[in-house]
Amino acid sequence: MQQLLSEAQISEGIARLAAEIESFYDGHRKLTIIGVMTGSVVLLADLIRRLPRTIRVGLVQARSYRGASTTPGALTIRADMLPDVRNRDVLVVDDIFDTGQTLFELFLELDELGPASVRSLVLLRKQGRSKVPIEPDHVGFDIPDRFVVGYGLDFEDAYRNLPYVAALDDAELAAGPPP
């Protein structure tokens, strides 16, 4: 396992993202932040505590079964979990932008609900992987095309609780998650 981002680097990145959000949305707009479960929960908790404004927080579940494979399976979105977003400014928060399929499909679902605006924020963006015509609006860090874990990201449900981001090598991926 090779550490890619330390706790201190992540913390600086979150501070930078929070400052971007504060300067983009003026203080009078009713911002609704929607975290994509489960990978975004650590990021969500750290990010919202750096926003001094009044916000609403919601969660949505988007699941593409893939394990160690980097090819996403069919995506299921639990849109019934979404809060009322009509006429609201929505910021979708996810752990990583890989192929972009999750954010792309989520944007299509959200558009049906009549929000005032929808933008996105991700901690990580993998280089050279996008298969969709959108890019995230706020990006913490661009990373190489490796399978990463920690700070919310999992390998078959393991490693979400690591406080840093690390890349697994091929042998570690082939060996499977820890028991």
Residue ranges binding ligand IMP (CB under 6 A): 36, 39, 64, 72, 94-102, 147-149, 153-154
Let me know: does 139 contact 125? Beta carbons within 8 Å.
yes
**Pick 137 or 154: Cβ nearer ligand IMP:** 154
Contacted by 89, from ligand IMP, Mg ion, none: CB < 5 to 8 Å by type: none
**Pick 25 or 97: Cβ nearer Mg ion:** 97
Q: Residue 123 is which amino acid?
A: L
**Pick 98 or 172: Cβ nearer ligand IMP:** 98
Contacted by 99, from ligand IMP, Mg ion, none: CB < 5 to 8 Å by type: ligand IMP
Q: Which residues bind Mg ion (CB under 5 A)?
A: 39
Contacted by 22, from ligand IMP, Mg ion, none: CB < 5 to 8 Å by type: none
Distance between CA atoms of 12 and 9, rounded to whole angstroms?
5
Find the shortest distance in angstroms from Cβ 32 to ligand IMP: 19
157 is catalytic: no
Contacted by 120, from Mg ion, ligand IMP, none: CB < 5 to 8 Å by type: none
Other residues' Cβ atoms within 10 Å of the Cβ of residue 103: 23
Let me know: does 167 contact 155? Beta carbons within 8 Å.
no
**Pick 39 or 100: Cβ nearer Mg ion:** 39
Pairing, β 117-126 against β 55-64: unpaired
Laid out side by side, the sheet with 89-97 consists of 75-78, 55-64, 31-37, 89-97, 117-126, 138-143
Active-site hit among 26, 98, 145, 154: 98
Distance between CA atoms of 61 and 81, rounded to whole angstroms?
8
Catalytic residue set: 98
